[in-house]
Amino acid sequence: MDQRDSIVRLDLTNESVTSEPVPEGWLRAYVGGKGLGARYLYEEVSPGTDPLGDANALCFLVGPLTGYLPGEQRYVVVTKSPLTGTFLDSYAGGSMAARLAGSLGRHVGVLVTGRAERPVALSIADGTVTIESADEWWGLDARETDDRVQDASVACIGPAGENLVSYATIASDGGEHHAGRGGAGAVMGAKRLKAVVAHDEPPTADDELRALRRRDVAAFADDETGRWHAASETVETIDFANEVGVLPTHGWQEGTFEGTDDIGIEAVRAAASDRERPNSPVPGGFRVESSVGDGDSDGTTESVPRGATPISLGAGLGIDEFDAVATLGSLCDRLGQDVISSGNAVAWAIRASEEGHLDRDLSFGDDDAARELIEEIAARSSSLGDALADGVEDAAAAYGGSALIPSIKGMALPSYDPRGASAMALAYATSDRGACHRRARPVEAQALAGTEWSVGDRVDAVIAEQDRRALRWSLVADDFVAEALSPDRIEEWLAAVGRNPIALDRIGARIWTLVRLFNVREGFSRDDDTLPQRLTEPIDGGPNDGAAIDPASFEAMLDRYYERRGWDDRGRPTTATLERLGLDEFDEFDRSDQAGETR
C-alpha cells in the first residue's frame, strides 16, 4: 500500500496545481487530519488574515486511516473561521470521505488558496486535481448540486455558502452530511469554489488492515458506546439532555422541554420505521421524510436527523411537531447552513422581538416564521437576515439584545446548557473554535457521576477529552468508533499503514497546544476564554431549576485549567510546555508583558 506523503497545493487565482511532499517530520509529529491541518494553517496563514480573503488557506484532508477504520469515514476541512476568527476544523462523514481518500492517491489532501474569477469545482481522480467550471452549478442547493454528478461523491456549498453566511457548511451526499460549524462553507464561497468532486472508489485494504477492521467492528459492536450508537445514534441526545435538565429550551431560558417525546428518539424511530437502516454495527443514520424542495412525486424528500436538529430547531424554538422540525433541518441541510447556529439565530430574533429590539412579530412554536427567517439568512434577503448571517453577536450589535443567546468567541452555544454541569462551561470556554460540544463533552460523566466533582475532576476531564479528540481527529476517525479504540490499538492501526508517530501519548496535547498558539497569534487570550452573561443567570424549571454559573468559581476553574495545561495566566503556552511537546520552534511571543503580542 502506498503511504500518503504529499499534498496538492492549488492557487485558484492563477489556476496553478502542484504536488509537493509534506515537510519532513510533520506526519510523525502531527499524524494527519486536524494535526497536519493545524501545522499547515500556522505556516500558511499570516496573523490578521481576512478569513474571506484570498490569502486564507482552505485544506481538505483525510487521515492515515480514512477508508480503513470501522464506522462512518470522515474527512476534515481546516481553515480560519469567518465566524470566530479562530482556527477551524470541521468534519463530515458519508461517502465523500472514503472516495476522497481513494481519489487522492499518495496525497493527504488539497490546500487551496486564492480566489477564482468565476465559480469552479475541483475534480479529483487517480491522485490528480483539475479545476473545472461550475458556472451552471452556482445558485443550486446541496441536493441539486449532488444530483448533477454521476458515479462520484461531492462536497459542495449551497446558497448560504455562496452568500458568505458566516456559519455556512460544506455539504456532501446531497446535504445528508456536513462539515458544519464555523463557516468553512463561506470560505469556499469567497473563493468561488462551488464543489469538490471525488471520482475514485475507496482505497483497498490489505489482509492486515482487513483483519484489524473485523476485530474492531466486533469490539465496537460489544462496546457500550457501540450499543448506544446502534440503537439511537446522536438523536437520543435530546432525551438525555431533557432528562438531566440541560436542554436549552425557548432560547436558553429553560432546561427542559415538554415536547421532547414528540421530537425525540421515539418520534424519530416511528417516523423512520418504514425506512431500511443499514445492516451494520455502525449504522449510517435514521432516514425520515420532509417537505423541502421538489422531492419525489408526492412532494416529499428524505433527510437524516441528527441530535442537533431537534435540540436547536425543536426545543430551542419551542416547536414540538416532528414533521416541522424535520423540515427545518432538511431546509438547513439543502441551503448548506449549520443547524445549531441557525436555530440560535432564530431563537435570538424571537427573544429580541419579545423584548422590543425588533419591529417584527416572532414567537416560539411558529415553524413557518422560523423557516422564512432561515431562508432570509441564507439569501441575506432582509436587513434582519443579513445581520443574523454574521452571527448572533453581530445581530445583537446592530439591534441590541446582547445577552439573549449565549456565545463564546462569536459562536453560539450548542446542545447542552452548562449551568447544569459546570465542567461543560469550561469545555465551551476553552474550545479552540468557539463554543463547541465536540471538543469535550464532560456533561455526560458529570451529570451521571452521582457525586460532586471537585475543580480538579472537572479540569482533568476536559483536558483528557480535548487531547483524546485531537488525536482521533488527526487519524481522522469516527468519534464513536474511536472511543472504543485503546492507544495500543491505535498504534497497531498506524503501524499497519506504515506510520510511526513521535510519542503517541503526547500527540493530542501537542496538537491542542499548536492550535492554541495559532489563536494566541490571532490575538485571543484569557479575555476570550470567558462565559457570556446569560450563563450567570438561573435556569427556569427542571432538575436544575435556579442553577447558574458563579463567575468567581469559573475563574478559579480556568486558573486550574491553565496550570494543568502549562499555560501562563493569560492562556499562553509557556516555554517549558513548548519544549516538552516538541513545539519550541513556535516560541515567538514577547513575554515581557501580558499582551500576547508576537515579536
pLDDT tens digits, one per residue of 35-48: 999 999 999 999 99
Q: Are residues 360 and 471 in the same domain?
A: no
CATH of the domain at 238: 1.10.569.10
Q: Are residues 424 and 398 in the same domain?
A: no
Q: Are residues 441 and 510 in the same domain?
A: yes
pLDDT tens digits, one per residue of 60-104: 999 999 988 887 889 999 999 999 999 999 999 889 999 999 999
Q: What is the mean pLDDT of the chain?
A: 89
Q: What is the pLDDT of residue 227?
A: 47
Q: Are residues 408 and 422 in the same domain?
A: no
Mean pLDDT of 275-282: 48
Q: Are residues 245 and 316 in the same domain?
A: yes
Residue 302 in any domain: the answer is yes
Residue 220 in any domain: the answer is no
Q: Are residues 19 and 95 in the same domain?
A: yes
Residue 203 in any domain: the answer is no
Residue 206 in any domain: the answer is no
Mean pLDDT of 540-558: 92
Residue 395 in any domain: the answer is yes
Distance (Å, whole) CA 407 – CA 388: 13
CATH of the domain at 95: 3.60.9.10
Number of domains forming the structure of the chain? 3
Listed residue (29, 141, 113, 31) closest to 482, CA to CA: 31
Mean pLDDT of 497-502: 89
Q: What is the pLDDT of residue 70?
A: 82
Q: What is the pLDDT of residue 302?
A: 59
Distance (Å, whole) CA 282 – CA 598: 46
Residue 217 in any domain: the answer is no
Q: Are residues 397 and 488 in the same domain?
A: no
More confident residue, 503 or 527: 527
Q: Does position 223 have pLDDT exceeding 70, yes or no?
A: no
Q: Domain containing 28: what range? A: 6-198
Last residue of a domain, one of 198, 218, 250: 198
Could you give the percent of the chain with pLDDT greater than 70? 88
Last residue of a domain, one of 146, 180, 198: 198
Residue 205 in any domain: the answer is no
Q: Are residues 181 and 233 in the same domain?
A: no
pLDDT tens digits, one per residue of 94-109: 899 999 999 999 999 9
Q: What is the pLDDT of residue 145?
A: 97
Q: Does position 199 have pLDDT exceeding 70, yes or no?
A: yes
Measure the CA angle with vertex 488, ends 487 and 489; round to 5°. Answer: 90
Mean pLDDT of 200-209: 92
Q: Does position 411 have pLDDT exceeding 80, yes or no?
A: yes
Q: Are residues 354 and 396 in the same domain?
A: yes
Please report which confidence band the pLDDT of residue 528 belongs to, taking 50, 70 and 90 as the band edges.
Answer: very high
pLDDT tens digits, one per residue of 451-491: 678 889 899 999 999 999 999 899 988 777 767 778 888 89
Q: What is the pLDDT of residue 296?
A: 47
Characterize 210-249 residue by residue with b for buried, 16 or more Cβ atoms within 10 angstroms of its Cβ, and e for exposed: eebbeebbebbbebeebeebbebbbbbbbbbbbebbbbbb
Last residue of a domain, one of 412, 433, 455: 412
Integer angstrom CA distances of residue 143 from 174, 302, 379, 439: 4, 11, 17, 29
Q: What is the pLDDT of residue 524?
A: 96
Lowest mean pLDDT among 148-162, 184-198, 293-307, 518-532: 293-307
**H or E segment to which residue 121 belongs:** strand 120-125
Residue 596 in any domain: the answer is no
Please report which confidence band the pLDDT of residue 448 belongs to, taking 50, 70 and 90 as the band edges.
Answer: low
113 forms beta bridges with: 11
Q: Are residues 427 and 526 in the same domain?
A: yes
Mean pLDDT of 387-409: 95
Chain-centre distance for alpha carbon 361: 32
Q: Does position 576 have pLDDT exceeding 80, yes or no?
A: yes
Q: What is the pLDDT of residue 225?
A: 53
Q: Are residues 350 and 444 in the same domain?
A: no
- pTM value? 0.92
Mean pLDDT of 141-165: 97
Q: What is the pLDDT of residue 570?
A: 95
Q: Are residues 396 and 442 in the same domain?
A: no
